[in-house]
Structure 1
Amino acid sequence: MRWMKQLLVSLTTSLLLAGGAHADMVVEVVGVGSQQYPIAIAPFQNEAGLKQPVTPVISNDLTLSGLFKVIGAGDVSPVPFSPAEINAAALLQRGAQTMLVGRTEMQGNELVIRFWLIDLASKKELISFEKRGSPALARRMAHQIADMIYEKITGKKGAFASRIAYVLKTAPNRYELQVADADGYGAQSVLSSKLPIMSPKWSPDGGRLAYVSFETQKPAVYVHELATGKRWAAANFKGSNSAPAWSPDGRQLAVVLTKDGGSHVYLVDLDGSNLRRLTTTGDINTEPAFGPDGRIYFTSDRGGSPQIYRMNRDGSGVERVTFGGAYNAGAKFSPDGKTMTYISREGGYRVAIMELATRQSMTLTDSGLDDSPTFAPNGQMILYETGARGSLAVVSVDGRVKQRLKAQNGDVRQPAWGPMLP
């Protein structure tokens, strides 16, 4: 069973991925929303002199969302850099409803980006804003501008200024934990090992990753500070240590251990102290996740087939959550706490979601070999692994927008979508 992999922490390559180190991923839109919003974007003044021009990043973000049709305005003469310079009539004829214009300049060592989003019909300023920062952060600022546009037009927060983590196999005996921007750009290796690395999970503040490493010839759970590179074993007990999940306050981990026979869910402090066993029933209890109601959700075979259960943080009050079908596993939650995503076996292993208030569920994917779903920080998209060889894919929570993320020289696995960057 696929869901048992986090318990058994298999050495098989089907759980990992092959590809080139430090290679950015290519994102391809394979399904779009039923209606795309047309927006014109003109190159910002002076951005050609930047190491990272701003508008290509913004255009790419909005296009990849599947909800926007970007209309290039670089051929407009003259190219507008402010609201007063916009030829609204010409752009309305091209089908645009709004237009983004702006300018960049260096003030000392600081990059200043001034931009406007204009409704072309009314000529009303929908956004008028200025961002300042280091030129090295130009890409991040561009993602933040795209998030502002996304929220203004859709009414929902964007998630472009966030990061993803995933596992990469770069050679037969070389594994890497990598972090990249949400658009697949800027992939960086956090950890390399000759032995497998698995199950990365972001801390609530986005500054740390918890993961499973085999570097001591057995699976142990590590915590890794991204800014400093400092790392330590948070769970390295007898037997298997796997499936870490962060508590909402970032002070504890829920982990799965086999130290007492079977697999059971435990709570442990980040320094490996104060270990408490929570589950007592069933041979297999795994994939813990902290739910929005303060309880811990987990996958268990105690009812005869893999299903999702929840319990209080002291292990009491266990109750079953999923009932439809013979296989439901790997719960994760939307940031607003209203929706749960998981893997359901319906003609294959597929990504599903459930509204917690109504218990209504919907299957979002149809590839049949999906795993490890994880919500975007705005709750509108779900990132997951798919395929026998392994790549990443993204699907919107309504199932209409779909993307593929592919490493240029290989495959990726076991993604985790992190929180928004400040």
Structure 2
Amino acid sequence: MPQIFHKILFALSLLAAVTAQAQLSVEITGAGANRIPVAIANFAGDAAAAQVVTATVRADLERSGLFKLIDPAGATLDENAQVSFADWKGRGADALAAGSVTRGPDGRMQARFRLYDTQKQAALGGAVYVTGNDQLRAAGHRIADYIYEKLTGEKGVFSTRIAYVVKSGGQFRLQIADADGQGAVTALSSTEPIISPVWSPDGSKLAYVSFEKKKPVIYVHALASGQRQVVANFKGSNSAPAWSPDGRKLAVVLSKDGNSQIYSVNADGTGLQRLTQSAGIDTEPRYSPDGGSIYFTSDRGGSPQIYRMGANGGDAQRITFEGSYNVSPRPSPDGKSLAFISRRDGRFQLAVMDLASKQVQILTDSNKDESPSFAPNSRMILIATETGGRGVLSAVSSDGRIKQRLSIAAGDVREPAWGPFIQ
């Protein structure tokens, strides 16, 4: 059983796919039951720039599944316009956003907006974002985040980024894109597999496993400079990196002393410490949001299940009991739930456990889910899955109601990782 388990995990982690240059496209396959009706008027000012910002805001809110967009019927309103609340309320809008995009004295673009509650006939607030011509979509994401938070009470994640791996011919590429799949850039390209990317808590680095040395080695990659540092290159396998919440350490899986076991290491590769001492295979560690615990997968009990131990090791407590195969634990950033992959009737599906009640819910109806990754507001979970014989990314809300599919035309994509909030 341990050997079979190890081979399954290894095979799943190596699945990657095609067409690195293409953007991910987002398809909404499910929406929330009670969507908030909101109108986004056409922004005034520079016509071309305003169109980019307005379209980005609308697309972000639409794909979230939480909003019903009300047709503004061609209305163009800047942030200082006199708003006819009765008119917009009559069109069915509970909220209205109006704004403008103009060029400032320094040559940069200024995106200004104001959000209104049509029911209360009052302004809810507004902001201005200063950006370059090439960052207009970023301004749109920021505005959408503001609207999302004001109307739902949760922080929006439209400004965040995702990482994933694609394979084009014989090339593996680690890609970074906006949360909507646009603006993809290549952080690393290799003829050997790249797996298990994870974001540092501040979003400035990625840790991942690369096979470029003909064996699995863990690197930390600074995204701004492109500089890389080897964190673990011991005898045998070096795999499954996971950042501590303070960004100072990584939990890693090493086989240098025999079976795969969990260790901690400083982010610069120093201070190696062994955390598990089991006779089985311990792998896929993830720190709890408070940094006090580590969730991990182990077959120490005979079948792959999820356990939790202290961040410095010690006795482990089994967490999953339903079914004979539960792997890839991912605690939510708010600490309330745990996502993982559960095998049910031969199908590998995304499951989520409420950590307070221990209740488990299967969120997908697919066959080959893997690599779950929470959005930083804990509302959505990104996974790699398979549709029509090819790999795609899917995002599903933690209650299973809202679903999206992110894919690349005629290609596959794997190993998703959702980045932290952008400060």
Decide which of 332, 339, 345 is 2:343's aligned counterpart. Answer: 345
Q: Tell me how far 1:276 sits from its aligned partner.
A: 1.5
Aligned to 2:397: 396
Please give the alpha-carbon distance, in whole angstroms, between the structure 2 residues aligned to 1:70 and 1:305: 48
Match for residue 151 of structure 1 among 140, 149, 152: 149
* Residue 250, structure 1, aligned to residue 251, structure 2: no
Instruction: Give 1:204's aligned residue.
Output: 201
User: Where does the alignment leave 5 or more consecutive residues of structure 2 unmatched?
Assistant: none
2:408: which partner in 1?
A: 407
Distance in 1 (CA, whole Å) between partners of 2:245 and 2:224 is: 20
What secondary structure, in the 3-state scheme, does the structure 1 residue paired with 2:315 have? Answer: coil
Distance 1:84 1:50, change over 3 A: closer
Partner residue in 2 for 1:221: 218
Change (3 A) 1:82 1:251: closer
1:123-134 matches, within 5 Å, as 123-134=121-132
Match of 1:160 in 2: 158
Moved over 6 A (4+): none
TM-score (ref. length: structure 2): 0.93
Counterpart selection for 2:116 from 98, 115, 118: 118
Query: Does 1:92 find its partner at 2:93?
Result: no
Question: In structure 1, what is the equivalent of residue 61 of structure 2?
Answer: 62
- 1:168-317 equivalences in 2 (<5 Å): 168-171=166-169, 173-293=170-290, 294-317=292-315
- Cα distance change of structure 1 residues 223 and 82 upon mapping to structure 2, 3 Å threshold: closer
Mapped partners of 2:393, 2:5: distance in 1: 18
Post-superposition offset of 1:5: 5.8
- CA separation of 1:231/1:163 partners in 2, compared to 1, >3 Å: closer, same or farther? same
What is the RMSD of the two structures over their aligned residues, measured on CA atoms? 2.0
Cα distance, 1:317–1:352 mapped onto 2, change above 3 Å: same
Between the aligned partners of 1:312 and 1:176, the Cα distance in structure 2 is: 35
Q: Say if 1:282 and 1:301, in contact at 8 Å, map to a contact too.
A: no
In the TM superposition, what is the alpha-carbon distance from 1:74 to its structure 2 partner?
5.0
C-alpha displacement of 1:164: 0.3
Task: Name the % identity.
Answer: 51
State the 1:346 CA deviation: 1.8
Match of 1:322 among 317, 320, 326: 320
Residues 207/3 of structure 1: CA separation in 2 closer, same or farther (3 Å cut): farther
Task: Give the Å deviation of 1:314.
Answer: 2.8
Counterpart for residue 46 of structure 1 = 45
TM-score, normalised to structure 1, is 0.94
**Alignment partners' CA distance in 1, 2:6 and 2:86:** 60
Q: Give the distance between the partners of 2:194 and 2:81, measured in 1 at CA.
A: 54
Q: Does 1:384 align with 2:391?
A: no
CA 1:3 to 1:383, structure 2 compared with 1: closer, same or farther past 3 Å?
Answer: farther
Q: Take 1:227 and 1:409, find their aligned partners in 2: how far apart are those partners? A: 31
Q: Which amino acid aligns with 2:398?
A: V
Q: Deviations over 1:143-200 (max 9, x none)?
A: 11101111111111111110000010011x1100000000000011100001111010
Cα 1:264–1:81, aligned 2, differ >3 Å: closer, same or farther? Answer: same
Q: CA contact under 8 A between 1:209 and 1:225: conserved in structure 2?
A: yes
Structure 1, residues 371-401: CA drift from partner, whole Å, max 9, x if none? 1111001110000011153110000011100
Could you tell me whether the CA contact under 8 Å between 1:102 and 1:115 is conserved in 2?
yes
Give the Cα separation in 2 of the matches to 1:123 and 1:46.
25
SS in 2 for 1:60: helix
Summarize the Cα distance change of 1:72–1:316 in structure 2 as closer, same or farther, 3 Å threshold.
same
Are the counterparts in 2 of residues 7 and 286 from structure 1 also a CA contact under 8 Å?
A: no
User: 5+ residue gaps in structure 1?
Assistant: none
What do the CA deviations read for 1:93-127 (whole angstroms, capped 9, x no partner)?
32222111111211122322221111223321012
Distance in 2, matches of 1:307 and 1:359, equals: 15
Distance 1:49 1:84 in 2: 20
CA 1:362–1:391 in 2, change beyond 3 Å: closer, same or farther? same
Q: Distance in 2 between matches of 1:225 and 1:52?
A: 34
State the distance in 1 between where 2:190 and 2:42 align: 43
Shift of the 146–3 alpha-carbon distance from structure 1 to 2, 3 Å rule, reads: farther
In 1, the alpha carbon distance for the partners of 2:35 and 2:163 equals: 29
